[in-house]
Structure 1
Amino acid sequence: MIGLGTYAFFWQHAGRDSAPLSLTGAFEATREMGIELFQICDFEPLERMSDDELGVAASTARDLGLTIELGTKGIEPARLARFLEIAAVFDARLVRSMLYSPESRPSLADAEDWLRRALPAYEAAGVTLALETYEQLATADLVALVERIGSPRLGVCLDPGNVVARLERPRDCVEAVAGHVKNVHVKDFAFARQPGWVGFTYSGARMGEGLHDYPHLLETVHPRERGINEIVEHWLPWQGDAETTIRTEREWTRATVDYLRSTT
């Protein structure tokens, strides 16, 4: 299923020169596009919400016909336990995370211990924990960790654009994690020369116009056949002013959704 995530509304949530878009506003914008899946990912206000506020947000999502997924950073047992509680409020079946959080950088041994402590509750609740591919952890180490634990409720959130920063190739990342993928983050990416030819900027691109070989991902991972959701997000640089940036963000979202629908 195609979904939108909070990173598809990054600048709209930021609210530069205007009121920030609320979570409910993002839900409504998602449904206006005919999308029925939304991933609340790294959305800091979510963790400040009271139980009543979470309940209202979840009720709004249900009223709009939205399926919700969640996302956080870190695998501290208390964090994972809290997000399992939030998942229950939203009827979410997937929580995406990363090994490191702003507060902790566990060793691989500690990470394995923490995950083994947290996963029985996820398994009992029928909620999947998907650990994202990214530059702070070698893809081979992530795969080995998932394989050692061997839980059917532990897998990978595939975002091959992230690993370029540790000099891994996106295609290699896709092939290494293919069998363990539980969630896909969809965004294109490209390099651009800096002024004066002094280096490059690695940033987002309109879907289908950058370096991401998404057909290769589809052929390798088979997300549609396996029921793996594809979540739209962007690395959109600031475009000089709020109006242009937000307009471009919305255009990129539409372009990515159209691209994904054209490949079905």
Structure 2
Amino acid sequence: MVGLGLSTYTYTWAIGVPGNMPQQPMDAFGLLELATKYHINRVQIADNIPLNQLSETELERLKHFSDSRRIQIEVGARGLYQEKIDKYLELAAYFGSPFLRFVIDEGTYRPPLDEIIQLIQQNLPKFERAGIPLAIENHDRLKGRDLIRIIQHTDPHLVGICLDTVNSLGAGEGLQEVLQQLAPYTLNFHIKDFSIQRKSHQMGFEVVGQPAGSGMLDIPEIMQVLDDFRKCISCTLELWTSPEKTLEDTIAKEREWAEKSLKYLKTVGIIN
């Protein structure tokens, strides 16, 4: 069973959502403090705390802080274009990240499939020299078959998947379909539990987040599928915490959901 990590998307509201910024947003050090509290030895710092915007001094402090607590930092980014690849591959090497997780699209940047493949092909020697594979997150636009095409036309040894349990609904694909296609390539698994509820007027459904173990996911079954391929390096708790009336109440709920999720994951053996 692979180890469990926290993410900047475990505590999305505490870090800050555009238009809903707390007075004192959680930073990377705050996330590492929580990992220490819960005896978690890995943390995924994704694009909502962009590492490329930290100064050299701040990066040095963060590395010293994580090393002193024996917490591995997994580096994540959004926007797969050359400048970001160069900077974040450097950051991944600096922090000793076991992979570099990327969401391809960013804002209006939505490159076509052939352009994505060509860009990754051009950068394969850099990933190989660094000894760090690229983990592409299934994120809304691209279907499973598109992601497989990217991998097969680049290098399956250097390019894999960051498998999110919910994101592919945006591409019209359910979890079982995505798992069947992408499990053989999965380097990192995002545990994001959810439920699907029919609207009161019966015309449509709503996908809402849940604490791990409280929704529709059969997490032990999914982990068994991933274990069978012996490729997944880590799994990461993420939450889609539904908002309360105030931001303060939402942040408190988010912490409660994180604690509840970690307790559940410990009961099924997914914890360090």
Instruction: Identify the residue that residue 110 of structure 2 maps to in structure 1.
Output: 105
**Residues 1:44 and 1:160: Cα distance change in structure 2 (over 3 Å):** same
Encode CA deviations 1:59-106: one digit per residue, 9 max, x unaligned: 111112110001111221221111011112222221111222225221
Whether 2:165 is the aligned partner of 1:135: answer: no
Report the Cα distance in structure 2 between the residues aligned to 1:242 and 1:77, rounded to whole angstroms: 36
Please give the residue correspondences for 1:19-98 in structure 2 after superposition, counting only pairs within 5 Å.
19-98=24-103
Say whether the 8 Å CA contact 1:171–1:213 is kept in structure 2: no
Shift of 1:188: 0.3
Instruction: Identify the residue that residue 236 of structure 1 maps to in structure 2.
Output: 241
Q: What is the TM-score when the length of structure 1 is the normalising length?
A: 0.93
Whether 2:10 is the aligned partner of 1:5: answer: no
Which residue identity lines up with residue 9 of structure 1 in the other structure? Answer: Y
Say whether the 8 Å CA contact 2:183–2:225 is kept in structure 1: yes
Bigger proportion of residues as helix: 1
| Structure 1 unmatched ranges of 5 or more | none
Encode CA deviations 1:95-132: one digit per residue, 9 max, x unaligned: 11122222522111111110011221111111121001
SS in 2 for 1:149: coil
**Residues 1:224 and 1:247: Cα distance change in structure 2 (over 3 Å):** farther
Instruction: Identify the residue that residue 257 of structure 1 maps to in structure 2.
Output: 262
Report the Cα distance in structure 2 between the residues aligned to 1:225 and 1:110, rounded to whole angstroms: 30
RMSD: 1.9
Shift of 1:227: 5.3
Which residue identity lines up with residue 258 of structure 2 in the other structure? Answer: T
Shift of 1:36: 0.5
Shift of 1:201: 2.1
Say whether the 8 Å CA contact 2:5–2:235 is kept in structure 1: yes
Report the Cα distance in structure 2 between the residues aligned to 1:227 and 1:177, rounded to whole angstroms: 11
Which residue identity lines up with residue 221 of structure 1 in the other structure? Answer: L
Instruction: Identify the residue that residue 166 of structure 1 maps to in structure 2.
Output: 171
Report the Cα distance in structure 1 between the residues aligned to 2:229 and 2:148, rounded to whole angstroms: 22
Shift of 1:2: 0.4
Counting matched residue pairs gives: 264
**Residues 1:79 and 1:103: Cα distance change in structure 2 (over 3 Å):** farther
Shift of 1:177: 0.7
Shift of 1:224: 9.7
Higher relative contact order (CA 8 A, sep 6+): 2
Say whether the 8 Å CA contact 2:52–2:87 is kept in structure 1: no
Which residue identity lines up with residue 15 of structure 2 in the other structure? Answer: H
Which residue identity lines up with residue 140 of structure 1 in the other structure? Answer: R
Sequence identity of aligned pairs in percent?
Answer: 28
Encode CA deviations 1:209-261: one digit per residue, 9 max, x unaligned: 21223233122211795452000111112111233212221121122222222
Which residue identity lines up with residue 170 of structure 2 in the other structure? Answer: A
Whether 2:162 is the aligned partner of 1:157: answer: yes
SS in 1 for 2:235: strand
Report the Cα distance in structure 1 between the residues aligned to 2:46 and 2:259, rounded to whole angstroms: 19
Whether 2:213 is the aligned partner of 1:211: answer: no
